[in-house]
Amino acid sequence: MKRSTSLFSMSFETLTLEGGLFVPEMLDQVSRGDAEGQSPADYHLARGLKLNDEASRSFQIAKAAFKAFGRYSDKSI
């Protein structure tokens, strides 16, 4: 299968795009934090909070909920 070449050079060494759902320019914008909908204001964060910190916090909450779910799903009814 022939790979298409592009003049745009992605900044991801381990990522290969297949098809046209994501274009390299968009992924580059997202990785820089310049894409639409990526500002703290878009997430209605309180002043002084950082988006990365809130994403990490949300992940930890989801991980704890999933762990609790696993404890309950293992028990027979």
pLDDT value of residue 77 = 47
Cα-to-chain-centroid distance, residue 41: 17
pLDDT value of residue 59 = 96
Return all residues near 17 (Cβ < 8 A) that are at least 6 apart: 10, 23, 24, 27
Block means of pLDDT (10 residues each) for the chain, 77 residues, are: 52 80 87 87 89 93 91 59
pLDDT value of residue 55 = 92
Determine the Cα–Cα distance for residues 50 and 65; give it in Å rounded to an integer: 23
Determine the Cα–Cα distance for residues 6 and 18; give it in Å rounded to an integer: 13
pLDDT value of residue 3 = 52
